[in-house]
Amino acid sequence: AVDCQQGLSPLYARPSKDGSELSAETAYKQINVPVALWYGRQDSTVPLKTAEWLRDTIPNTTEHFIDGTHALYLYNAEAVIDDLVEKMTQT
């Protein structure tokens, strides 16, 4: 299990007190499949700094930082799906 308090914020990436859960950072470092991060540069909900932290923490990550705000995948669905299909063929 992963403790993801407050979403994906690196400020909250910590293990549970009883040791039954990994910290988010430890869990992210153990991901062993291709990952694509899609973030809007103007997102005020999830800051770009969080996306950069995830990119630097998760192995085999491709970032897509594009102009837009939160939930940009709604307006870029075709590109997101194409990227997902590509990632699925890599595994």
CA 65 to chain centre: 12
DSSP symbols for 41-87: TT-SSS-HHHHHHHHHHSTTEEEEEES--TTGGGTSHHHHHHHHHHH
Q: How far is 24 from 12, CA to CA, in rounded Å?
A: 8
Q: What is the pLDDT of residues 22-56, one digit of tens each?
A: 777 888 899 998 888 888 888 888 888 888 989 99
Banded pLDDT at 11 (limits 50, 70, 90)? low
Mean pLDDT value of segment 70-80: 86
Give the mean pLDDT of 61-81.
88
When the pLDDT of each residue in the chain is averaged and rounded to a whole number, the result is 80
- State percent of the chain over pLDDT 90: 22
